[in-house]
Each structure stands twice: as C-alpha cells, then as structure tokens.
C-alpha cells in the first residue's frame, strides 16, 4: 500500500472527513498529555476501507503488546525535573531561568513552584521514574554491553513497520498526540534496550530455550497471506450499481475510480490500496476482497464506509517462518517476555544494590524487608504489557510510575 494511501485514520480530524471516510469508531492514543502540545500537522486521508488504527501498537512477534506508550503521561514533567536536578551541585539551582521587574527567577524558584503546584507526592513519583532510569543505566553498564544510536534507530524503524506507520510524519504525529517528540521518544527507548542487556546476561538463554519459544509462537513469525486490491467507493447503492454496470460494459476501473470514488485516500491512484493482510480493512471489505480471484471484480459490497466495488489485482500466499531467519527476533521477544515477568523482582533487588533513597516518597530501598510470598499479599492490578525489540514491538513493563516507557533493540540483545 502506498504511503499516500495508508495514513492512519486518527491522523485526520473526523470533522474534516466526509462521512464515508470516517472510521467505525473514533480511536485516539489513550495516554494523558502532560502539557498542551501544538496540533499535529494534518495527514492525507486514509482509504475509507481501512480499519481505525489501534490506540496502541499492535502485538509483536512474541504476542506481547508495546511499551512505548506506557509512561508518556509523566515524561514531560519528569524530563523537566531531571533538567533541574541533574546539575544541582554548587550554585546551579541559583541559575536564572527568567527575569521579572529586574529580579531573577531561578531554577530553585521554578522547582519549588512545581512542588507546590504538583504536590510532593506526585513529584516523588516523577523522581522515582528518573531514578529508575538511572538504576537501569547503571546495571546495564555492568554487563559490558552498550546501547547504540543504531540500536535505537533500528527499534523505532521496526515500531513504525509493525504499526503501519508508512511515513516519518505519521509516526511524529502519533507521538505529538501523546505530547512527545521523536527525540524524547528515543531517550525513553534506551532504558528498555538496556533491560535487554541486563536480562540477556542474567538469563543467558540457550539455543534450546529460543527454539522452544519459537515453536510455541511460530505463527507469529511467518508472513501472512496478503492481497492487493483496488476499489471504488460510492455513497449510495444506486450509484454503486450504476458504476458496476459501466465496468461490466468495459469501462476502465482506474479511470472510473478517479472520476467517481469518494475515497480521497485512494482515488487519485485509480483506487489502488496496495497489499494488505487480514485485520487491516473493515470486515465486510476484507471478506469480499479475500474471496476474489486475481483479476476478478466483486459485486457491490456494503460496509460502514459506504458501497464498494472491489477488484483484486494480486495475491501473496502465506509463508511459514524458518527459525534461522528470525532467530534474532526470537531472542528479543524471548527476553522481552522474561522482562515482563521478572522486572518487578529484579528492580527491587537492583534498588538495594544501587542504594536507592527517594526523600520525597520516604522510600529507602537499603532498609527494605523481604517481600512476603505472593499468596499472602493482595495481587496487584495488571500493568500494560508489551515487547521491545528492533524486530518486534516492545515487551511489557510495570506501571507508568515504576517502569520505563519505550523498548529494546538488536545489539542490545547480545
């Protein structure tokens, strides 16, 4: 599917799309915004047959969901606090950040006002987030490995691929809708990649472990069946039947699509939607398209978007995965699953090792007692899950106040 045709529907304001182009339901990234952000640039409309894009990235090869959206709501404040406290030695807190009536407003003034406005408890949670990143970074450094810029870029490239972001603008708009820039997202990715380094050394998975994981999740690594189709979308059944009659009389499909289709996302390309797999288009469109033979044209197909005439132009059969071809991705997904399962216990011990003390929350990990057995304490509510990899989405992590917010990459899994 061309870049022009696959823009996510949520990137186009619903009040500016024709009724026929609107998704079946309005879906947005569900994270709170820490602060007002500029309105994202308007994207070109997506084909009306496309399903609304998911609010969060789709599941990765290992079946886990993605991390990058978990802690977005706290990033802006946490980043600002970090700027204020990272150079807190000496007179840095007396550095002027503004001036009023000839008097300086210092970093200390700003910090104190943030504490008043946000509350000490909330500030303590933000500090916990910053300290968590530092603990992960310190522990990753002990592995002898390193997260490179190439690791981060590879992970982000895969996030875009896995979630059908076909242009950089689409991805940037999705981040902007959650109050993030690409540079901020890259920084939030590093702790996840560092966790890969940590758990790879901690677990040292064998080839048998990875092959067993692959066999268990084999369906997630193959290439699913895909079809390529063109369509003409009309508002009424009568209009669609009239166009279908013209087509049966020999009219050119692409020409009529350009002239008649109300799908602004595909009409200029003669109705071409490119290749797509199952789960991308709305149910009625998908069922009709996959039932066609190459070169065959459908009757009028009704969907929530209107009335379609579909022509199948190509088909790619499903291809089963070979372990040797995807073993790097398998290792990443395996580690992501283990991070999801073991992060909480690991972080508790790592805080003790690092001498963690948060004076705002009064937490002193160096004096913490052993955690009671699981069956003697109330169970915690499930946290968002995910997987992180340069070849997959990211692994699950703990809740926003105690987890990193992005996900791991290729050389970080060595």
Question: How far apart (Å, rounded) are the C-alpha atoms in residues 222 and 245?
Answer: 40
The pLDDT of residue 81: 53
Q: Is the separation of the CB atoms in 395 and 189 below 8 Å?
A: no
The pLDDT of residue 89: 52
Question: How far apart (Å, rounded) are the C-alpha atoms in residues 136 and 143?
Answer: 11
The pLDDT of residue 10: 34
The pLDDT of residue 300: 98
The pLDDT of residue 111: 80
Asked whether the whole model's pTM tops 0.85, one would answer no
- Nearest Cα residue to 115 out of 89, 88, 77, 86: 77
Question: How far apart (Å, rounded) are the C-alpha atoms in residues 353 and 168?
Answer: 40
Walk me through the domains of the chain, giving residue ranges and CATH numbers: 72-160+186-218+329-413 (no CATH), 226-316 (3.10.50.40)
The pLDDT of residue 110: 85
* pLDDT profile of the chain (414 residues), mean per 10: 37 38 34 34 59 38 39 45 51 83 89 83 88 94 95 90 81 90 90 95 97 94 93 97 97 97 95 92 96 98 97 96 94 94 95 93 82 37 34 38 39 42
The pLDDT of residue 46: 64
Question: How far apart (Å, rounded) are the C-alpha atoms in residues 342 and 55?
Answer: 26
Beta-bridge partner residues of 106: 96
Beta-bridge partner residues of 230: 272, 311
């Amino acid at each position: 599917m061309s870049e022009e045709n696959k823009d996510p529907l949520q990137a186009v304001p619903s009040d500016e799309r024709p009724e026929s182009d609107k998704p079946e339901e309005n879906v947005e990234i569900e994270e709170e915004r820490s602060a007002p952000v500029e309105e994202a640039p308007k994207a070109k409309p997506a084909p009306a047959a496309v399903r609304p894009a998911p609010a969060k990235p789709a599941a990765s090869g290992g079946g886990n969901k993605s991390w990058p959206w978990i802690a977005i709501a706290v990033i802006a404040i946490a980043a600002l606090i970090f700027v204020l406290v990272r150079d807190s030695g000496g007179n840095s807190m007396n550095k002027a950040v503004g001036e009023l009536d000839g008097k300086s407003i210092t970093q200390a003034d700003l910090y104190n006002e943030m504490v008043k406005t946000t509350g000490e408890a909330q500030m303590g949670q933000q500090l916990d987030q910053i300290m968590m990143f530092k603990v992960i970074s310190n522990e990753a450094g002990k592995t002898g490995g390193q997260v490179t810029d190439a690791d981060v870029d590879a992970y982000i490239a895969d996030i875009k691929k896995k979630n059908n972001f076909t242009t950089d603008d689409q991805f940037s708009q999705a981040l902007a809708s959650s109050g993030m820039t690409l540079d901020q997202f890259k920084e939030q990715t590093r702790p996840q990649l560092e966790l890969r380094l940590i758990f790879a050394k901690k677990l040292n998975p064998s080839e048998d472990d990875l092959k067993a994981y692959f066999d268990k999740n084999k369906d997630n690594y193959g290439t699913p069946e895909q079809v390529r189709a063109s369509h003409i979308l009309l508002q009424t059944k009568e209009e669609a039947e009239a166009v279908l009659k013209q087509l049966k009389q020999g009219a050119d499909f692409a020409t009529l699509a350009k002239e008649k289709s109300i799908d602004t996302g595909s009409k200029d390309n003669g109705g071409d939607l490119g290749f797509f797999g199952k789960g991308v288009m709305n149910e009625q469109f998908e069922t009709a398209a996959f039932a066609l033979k190459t070169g065959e044209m459908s009757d009028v197909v009704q969907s929530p978007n209107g009335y379609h005439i579909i022509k199948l132009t190509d088909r790619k059969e499903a291809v089963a995965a070979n372990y040797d071809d995807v073993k790097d991705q398998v290792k990443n997904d395996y580690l992501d699953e283990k991070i999801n399962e073991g992060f909480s216990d690991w972080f508790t011990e790592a805080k003790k090792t690092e001498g963690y003390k948060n004076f705002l929350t009064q937490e002193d990990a160096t004096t913490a007692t052993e955690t009671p057995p699981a069956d003697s304490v109330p169970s915690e509510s499930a946290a968002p899950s995910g997987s992180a990899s340069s070849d997959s989405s990211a692994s699950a992590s703990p809740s926003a106040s105690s987890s990193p917010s992005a996900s791991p990459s290729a050389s970080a899994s060595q």
